[in-house]
Amino acid sequence: MTEPPLAQRVELTHLAVSDEFAPEKRFTDARGEGHLILNDVPMRRVGLFTLNPGAGWRGGHWHRLRREYIYIVEGKGRAQFNCPATGERLELALEPGDRLRIEPGVAHRFLADETLTFVEVSDRAYSREDDMPVAFPED
């Protein structure tokens, strides 16, 4: 079976700041700010991570079964994706308000250009057997 291109298995959505009604958005008012990250998505695991610039890549694995969503709360960084089956590669710049959807079978890792805080949501509980380490090709 042929793997679909990474562009079909990794989706980057920027959640805009808006005062209009929307189930997924960012907003600010006198009380502070809100991030409506996902709507109507099954969740089995949620984590909050902070990456420091200069500390290297976080990740370097793919999941056999788990779909992940990554939401950038603060900071800027980069995400790299690799398809172990085809060798296809993709790199995306990340900024606050960006949400990634990463399908199973896509290797991924993250690097902070400045302190990067993100939320990770997945549709399955964590299982060590689902984490498949992978070496990313270096340029």
Task: Grade residue 1 by pLDDT with cuts at 50, 70 and 90.
Answer: low
Query: Chain-wide mean pLDDT for the chain?
Result: 94
Across 107-125, average pLDDT: 97
Per-residue pLDDT at 139: 54
Closest C-alpha among 128, 118, 7 to residue 64: 128
pTM: 0.93
Distance CA 46, CA 33 (A): 20
Cβ–Cβ under 8 Å, residues 119 and 41: no
- Positive or negative, the CA dihedral 29, 77, 7, 61 is negative
Cα distances (angstroms) measured from residue 138 to each of 15, 70, 113: 31, 23, 18
| Domain chopping of the chain, boundaries | 6-14+42-133
Residue 66 predicted with pLDDT over 90:
yes
Domain 6-14+42-133: homologous superfamily in CATH: Jelly Rolls (2.60.120.10)
3-state SS class at 139: coil
Residue 112 predicted with pLDDT over 90:
yes
Phi/psi for 18 (5° steps) reads -150, 145
Share of residues in the chain with pLDDT > 90 (%): 91
Q: What are the structure tokens assigned to 68, written together? A: 């992940």
Cα distance between the two ends of the chain? 28
Task: Grade residue 100 by pLDDT with cuts at 50, 70 and 90.
Answer: very high
Task: Grade residue 120 by pLDDT with cuts at 50, 70 and 90.
Answer: very high
Across 110-139, average pLDDT: 93
- Give the containing element (helix H, strand E) for 82: strand 77-82
40: left (phi over 0), alpha (psi -120 to 50) or beta: left
Per-residue pLDDT at 137: 81
